[in-house]
């Protein structure tokens, strides 16, 4: 079967392309945002990438067109699909129809931490000989790809609450029918499609309704919006996790930065973990993954051992390079909570060394200015903050940040940011670049500039 994917370079759709190719289908796709790591991953798998959404990309006529949720009516390719009467579906529906049938699905949902937790869970299963399939919105270092079919019935999926397609406004995750469900957290996000937190809770409750009575829900104990959602009705056993005392899973930091911590279950110590991931949020992610792995038969003690060989995920505090003892990180954080947690973990690790935070407010919610009042506070742990004011931003960053004190500078070009970094950065500094897009390849450009300066 020939499958053509519209929006193929999105993290979810790119993963679908890999699964379709592994199933033996011919796969092609179109997109306007072609940049690494997804474009590189797809090209390495021999998948044809076409720039733009031209109707001629649909020749020869594919057997089915999978349409990403970034495309809407008026898009030339979408209009061609409809006018020609081509068979089409959404990515989430295709995943259910062709991959998830007869699988034990382990889904990871939440506002933050989905990619990290799903990657952790896939590795805990893999390292303990369960060879799972997975589809993750990033590229785990232990696997090198964002999706695969696996060799057992177990399938880990990052369960996104964003809407499915222009013709299906339910959240993607209601299609997945999980038997094991992790609920990491719940905050207001995706303001472009959800008018309020209650609308998001409704979708999460739809997801809860799909989990069977012989499944398991694993929920963060310190999230009031999750508690409210569960109170609407849950027909499945629940285990809770937290950094605080809770009746099920708990972590206790041994080191402040989270590189070492103890895992407890029902107030009894299970094992001590040593690994490479920073921060409280990653300890929370680890607890959830350990609980989910235990549900499919992996003893918690073995999962804790497997944490030590977890290699992290591309674009999640990924060290892109070190020049003159200046470390440059790439991170996907784009919500104030995620930004604050990321910087908190790094601060506890590096102590008084300087942290430079470079942020592109790129998500639809950020562009709309929904979180503008909390943005400055989320960046307060950085010594220097550089914000990128893109042309498509609906609010004036500089005007808003005048209300707050702190070392914040606003720039209208990435080159201006790079030039400023070069004049201020010194040995032993840490530069964290945060964006959920390509950010004009600023990471590599800063590294190249540092090489030219110090070599």
Same domain, 151 and 274: yes
Residue 333 CA to residue 370 CA, distance in Å, equals: 16
72: buried, middle or exposed (CB in 10 Å: 19+, 13-18, 0-12)? exposed
pLDDT number for residue 403: 56
Q: pTM of the predicted model, to two decimals? A: 0.86
Same domain, 334 and 251: no
> Do residues 204 and 178 lie in contact, with contact meaning Cβ atoms separated by under 8 Å?
no
- The answer to whether residue 401 scores a pLDDT higher than 70 is no
What are the backbone dihedrals phi and psi of residue 277, each rounded to the nearest 5 degrees, phi first?
Answer: -95, 140
Same domain, 328 and 266: no
Q: Could you check whether the bond before residue 79 is cis, i.e. omega within 30 degrees of 0?
A: no
pLDDT number for residue 108: 98
pLDDT number for residue 452: 92
Residue 418 in any domain: the answer is: yes
Residue 158 in any domain: the answer is: yes
Give the pairing type, strands 430-434 and 238-242.
Answer: unpaired
Residue 299 in any domain: the answer is: yes
Does residue 374 or residue 176 have the better pLDDT? 176
Same domain, 128 and 72: no
Same domain, 254 and 132: yes
Residue 217 CA to residue 211 CA, distance in Å, equals: 8
* Residue 346 domain boundaries: 318-454
* Cα 374 → chain centroid: 21
Same domain, 133 and 81: no
Tokens 């996000």, located at residue: 189
Residue 341 CA to residue 335 CA, distance in Å, equals: 10
Same domain, 138 and 276: yes
pLDDT of 309-368, one tens digit each? Answer: 999 888 888 899 999 999 999 988 767 888 888 999 899 999 999 999 999 887 666 655
Same domain, 84 and 168: no
- Identify the band that residue 254 occupies on the pLDDT scale cut at 50, 70 and 90: very high
pLDDT of 265-297, one tens digit each? Answer: 999 999 999 999 999 999 999 999 999 999 999
- Identify the band that residue 371 occupies on the pLDDT scale cut at 50, 70 and 90: low
CATH number of the domain encompassing residue 255: 3.40.1190.10
pLDDT number for residue 396: 72
Dihedral sign from CA coordinates of 308, 311, 316, 318: positive
Which run of H or E residues covers position 38? helix 38-44
Which of 285, 307, 329 is where one domain is finished? Answer: 307
Which of 307, 330, 359 is where one domain is finished? Answer: 307
DSSP 8-state secondary structure symbol assigned to residue 441: G
Q: What tokens does 67 get?
A: 């349409």
CA-based radius of gyration for the chain: 22
What three-state secondary structure class fits 279?
coil
pLDDT of 428-453, one tens digit each? Answer: 999 999 988 778 899 999 999 999 98
| Of residues 277, 281, 285, the one with CA closest to residue 312 | 277
User: How confident is the prediction for the chain on average, in pLDDT?
Assistant: 91
Give how far Cα 284 sits from Cα of 182, 247, 289, 291, Å.
11, 15, 9, 11
Same domain, 183 and 275: yes
Which of 90, 110, 141 is where one domain is finished? Answer: 90
pLDDT number for residue 406: 63
- The answer to whether residue 103 scores a pLDDT higher than 60 is yes
Residue 163 in any domain: the answer is: yes
CATH number of the domain encompassing residue 19: 3.40.50.720
Same domain, 347 and 256: no
DSSP 8-state secondary structure symbol assigned to residue 360: -
Q: Could you check whether the bond before residue 37 is cis, i.e. omega within 30 degrees of 0?
A: yes
Count of structural domains within the chain: 3
> Do residues 239 and 289 lie in contact, with contact meaning Cβ atoms separated by under 8 Å?
no
Angle at CA 61, nearest 5°, toward 56 and 62? 115
Residue 57 CA to residue 31 CA, distance in Å, equals: 11
Q: How many DSSP H helices and E strands does the chain contain? A: 15, 23
* Cα 142 → chain centroid: 16
Residue 312 in any domain: the answer is: no
- The answer to whether residue 209 scores a pLDDT higher than 60 is yes
> Do residues 436 and 362 lie in contact, with contact meaning Cβ atoms separated by under 8 Å?
yes
Average pLDDT of the segment spanning 103-113: 95
């Amino acid at each position: 079967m020939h499958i053509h994917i519209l929006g193929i370079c999105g993290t979810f759709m790119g993963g679908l392309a890999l699964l379709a190719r592994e199933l033996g289908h011919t796969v092609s796709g179109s997109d306007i945002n072609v940049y690494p790591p997804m474009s590189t991953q797809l090209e390495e798998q021999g998948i044809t990438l076409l720039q733009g959404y031209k109707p001629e990309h649909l020749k020869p006529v594919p057997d089915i067109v999978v349409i990403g949720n970034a495309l809407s009516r008026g898009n030339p390719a979408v209009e061609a699909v409809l006018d020609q009467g081509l068979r089409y579906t959404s990515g989430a529906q295709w995943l259910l129809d062709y991959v998830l049938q007869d699988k034990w699905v382990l889904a990871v949902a939440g506002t933050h931490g989905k990619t990290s937790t799903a990657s952790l869970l896939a590795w805990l299963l893999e390292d303990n000989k369960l060879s799972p399939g997975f589809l993750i919105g990033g590229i785990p270092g232990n696997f090198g790809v964002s999706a695969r079919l696996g060799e057992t019935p177990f399938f880990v999926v990052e369960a996104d609450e964003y809407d499915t397609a222009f013709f299906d406004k339910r959240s993607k995750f209601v299609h997945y029918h999980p038997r094991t469900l992790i609920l990491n957290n719940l905050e207001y996000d995706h303001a472009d499609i959800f008018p309020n937190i209650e609308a998001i809770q409704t979708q999460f409750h739809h997801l809860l309704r799909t989990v069977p009575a012989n499944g398991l829900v694993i929920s963060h104990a310190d999230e009031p919006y999750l508690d409210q959602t569960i109170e609407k009705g849950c027909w499945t056993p629940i285990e809770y996790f937290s950094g605080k005392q809770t009746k099920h899973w708990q972590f206790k930091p041994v080191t402040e930065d989270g590189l070492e911590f103890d895992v407890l279950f029902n107030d009894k110590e299970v094992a001590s973990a040593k690994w490479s991931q920073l921060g409280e949020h990653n300890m929370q992610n680890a607890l959830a993954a350990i609980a989910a792995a235990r549900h499919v038969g992996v003893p918690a003690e073995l999962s804790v051992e497997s944490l030590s060989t977890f290699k992290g995920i591309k674009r999640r505090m990924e060290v892109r390079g070190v020049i003159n003892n200046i470390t440059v990180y790439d991170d996907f954080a784009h919500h104030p909570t995620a930004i604050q947690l990321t910087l908190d973990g790094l601060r506890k690790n590096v102590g008084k060394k300087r942290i430079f935070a470079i942020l592109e407010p790129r998500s639809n919610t950020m562009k709309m200015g929904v979180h503008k009042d909390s943005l400055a506070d989320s960046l307060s742990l950085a010594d220097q903050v550089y914000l990128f004011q893109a042309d498509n931003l609906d609010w004036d960053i500089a005007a808003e940040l005048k209300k707050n004190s702190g070392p914040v500078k606003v720039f209208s070009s990435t080159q201006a940011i790079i030039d400023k970094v070069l004049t201020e950065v010194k040995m032993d500094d840490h530069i964290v670049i945060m964006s959920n897009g390509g950010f004009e390849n600023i990471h590599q450009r800063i590294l190249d500039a540092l090489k030219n300066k110090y070599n």
